[in-house]
Amino acid sequence: MDGTAIENFVCVIFNVSFMNCTWHAGQTASGDTQYFLYWKTSEKEDFTGCQNYIKDNYGRHTGCSFQNVTIKNTKAHFLVNGSRSGQNIQSYKKKIILYRIEKLTPPLNVTVNCTEGSHLCDIWWQPPRTSHVEREDACFKYEIVIENKVDPKKNITTSRTKNCYEFESFSAEKRYSVKIRATNNDCLVSESWGEWSTPVEFGKEQLTSTSSYMLFLVAVLAASLTLCLCTVSIYLKKKSATVLQPRDPFHEISPRDFEREYKNQLMKHETEEITVIEEMT
């Protein structure tokens, strides 16, 4: 029996209402050992079995996924038992306060509004989503990281309990990005830091980069159009060179041309007579 119970049992709640629990097989558990998870959210409830097991390459249960989990300020009870070749193995029991294992979502709707003349930027955001926090304005502490894209040595990391921050070192000629994450601030919230928000970039250099890209795109289109026109022009010239010019029906033979043609015919006739006489001789 010893060493057959599961080890390293861990549960995490994420994206408000999803929960994953995972574990490792016992050190002395044989390959045919199979585990089964049961849980309940209070002492008064009955245990419910897992409906969506996570399996390893051998088909052995190594975890369970749950949906529509409701976080309460009570201890949830977990039980993992199993069997091998028809024999029971050691069971594993654990009690967990669910809000402590929640991975907070990122803060929402991060926005930046900068004033070039005053070198200030107002950064605002909304609290992360959760199913059980009522006093959202006072339950979270935030970590703000502002990255200087030109000089990383000037990056800023700070924390706030309010959902706003005034960035006082803004330079209109530089480019920045900001990301934020949350944790507990004296409420029923996990002490672990939540997920980072998607970085939001701001600064004039970003606009300059965009403008340069547009200019490059226009130049490429112009060059392509010019090349196309040149190709069409060359094709038309070659086509016109192969077309025979029509004879002018209104062109008349001048008297001088007629006289020259008549003399040529006489000379040809005389040459033919001389040739005939020589042959007869």
Nearest CA among 208, 207, 203 for reference residue 123: 203
The predicted structure's pLDDT at residue 270? 55
Q: Which residue has the tokens 């939540």?
A: 194
Q: How far is CA 239 from the centre of its chain?
A: 51
210: region left, alpha or beta (phi > 0 left; psi from -120 to 50 alpha): alpha
SS3 state at 266: helix
User: Strand ranges (DSSP E) for the chain?
Assistant: 7-14, 18-24, 34-40, 48-49, 53-55, 61-66, 75-84, 87-88, 92-97, 102-103, 108-115, 120-126, 140-148, 156-160, 164-167, 175-184, 200-203
The predicted structure's pLDDT at residue 281? 44
The predicted structure's pLDDT at residue 69? 92
Domain covering 7-102 assigned CATH 2.60.40.10 in the classification: yes
* Residues with Cβ within 8 Å of residue 104, at least 6 apart in sequence: 128, 130, 140, 181, 182, 183, 189, 190, 192, 193, 194, 195
The predicted structure's pLDDT at residue 244? 47
Q: How far is CA 219 from CA 64, 215, 260, in A?
A: 57, 6, 64
Please give the average pLDDT of every successive group of 10 residues along the chain, which has 281 residues. 89 95 91 92 91 92 94 90 84 94 96 86 94 83 94 91 92 91 92 96 60 53 65 60 49 55 59 47 44
SS3 state at 247: coil
Q: Please, where in the chain does CATH 2.60.40.10 lie?
A: 7-102, 105-208
Torsion, Cα 217 221 226 227, to 10 degrees, reads: 100
Nearest CA among 175, 153, 178, 176 for reference residue 165: 178
User: Strand ranges (DSSP E) for 61-134?
Assistant: 61-66, 75-84, 87-88, 92-97, 102-103, 108-115, 120-126
28: tokens are 């002395």
Longest Cα separation, the chain: 147
227: tokens are 């090349």
* Residues with Cβ within 8 Å of residue 150, at least 6 apart in sequence: 174, 175, 205
Domain covering 105-208 assigned CATH 2.60.40.10 in the classification: yes
